[in-house]
Amino acid sequence: MCYGTDARPPFPPIAGGAGAMRSEDVILEASDGNRLLAFTAVSAASGAPGIVILPDVRGLHAFYRELAVRFAEAGVHATAMDYFGRTAGMGSRGEDFDHMPHVQQTTPETVAQDVAATAAHVRSPGGGGATAIYTVGFCFGGRHSFNQAAGGHGLSGVIGFYGVPQKRVAHDAYAPMLRVGRYECPVLGLFGGSDKAIPLESVERFRHALDQADVPNEIVVYDGAPHSFFDRTADQHRDASDDAWRRVLRFVGSSLS
């Protein structure tokens, strides 16, 4: 699991944020008819870019709802999507929700369909009407976010926090470092130097694969930071979180970065 129930996104290190004009739950529909829950936050900033948030294995929980609002305050229209509409429905879920059976039923194809529906929402007036769209994901969502660069969504860039780039099992054809030849947009990867799930060698191999494929990229490793360092309850990693925020906002072209 990436974030526990007490984790909360850090505040963006900006002065005089734009503010969130509106935030609310929305129901979206993917191309296969799947209905999924999402949470959208529309920025008051004029001409703001948009971002699709791909959560960790727990799906759409409090961390990501608040993160969408933080993005809106920082001048980015944001919608956080849920993965489990096909298997868990859209009803309320407690903190004891057993997410892993539903994670195991996701596929790269169904995640991409739901990302497409969420990106369409961010492009629509209800999601902010953004013309430049990005994805950002965390852990499970970070890996999926990287690979949306090959999803045909017309993205301006993809961002992954501690998304595993290497093969996890021998037959893992979805490893980002194997798919970079299909990427169609720049990549920002943010990793913890002490992340036990992602060896530094794998991060460097991912960087090398992106370079070899001529994919513009910025790969950042924070020395001493663990998996899930981007958390305001982890005050010892505040500097890494602040730097990550600045890089993300610069990458997506927020006017407040």
- Cβ(51)–Cβ(123) below 8 Å: no
The pLDDT of residue 16 is 65
Domains in the chain: boundaries: 20-252
State yes or no: pLDDT of 62 exceeds 60: yes
If pLDDT is split at 50, 70 and 90, which confidence band does 95 have?
Answer: confident
- Does CATH number 3.40.50.1820 belong to domain 20-252? yes
pLDDT band at 169 (very low <50, low <70, confident <90, very high): confident
The per-residue pLDDT for 1 is 55
Compute how many other C-beta atoms are within 10 angstroms of the C-beta atom of residue 173. Answer: 8
Cα torsion through 207, 208, 214, 218, rounded to 10 = 20
Neighbouring C-beta atoms of residue 135, cutoff 10 Å: 31
Q: What percent of the chain has pLDDT over 90?
A: 86
Calculate mean pLDDT across residues 90-111: 90
Strand pairing category for 217-222 and 20-29:
unpaired
pLDDT at 46 over 60: yes
**Residue 257: pLDDT band with limits 50, 70, 90:** low
Q: What are the pLDDT digits (tens) for 192-241?
A: 999 999 999 999 999 999 999 999 999 999 999 999 999 999 999 999 99
| pLDDT tens, residue by residue, 120-168 | 999 999 999 999 999 999 999 999 999 999 999 999 999 999 999 998 8
Kindly report the pTM of this predicted structure: 0.96
CA separation, residue 195 to residues 89, 161, 254 (Å): 33, 11, 29
Model confidence at 189, pLDDT cuts 50, 70, 90, reads: very high
The mean per-residue pLDDT over the stretch 167-179 comes to 90
Asked if pLDDT for residue 15 goes beyond 70, the answer is no
234 or 171: which leads in pLDDT: 234
Question: Which amino acid does the sequence have at 129?
Answer: G
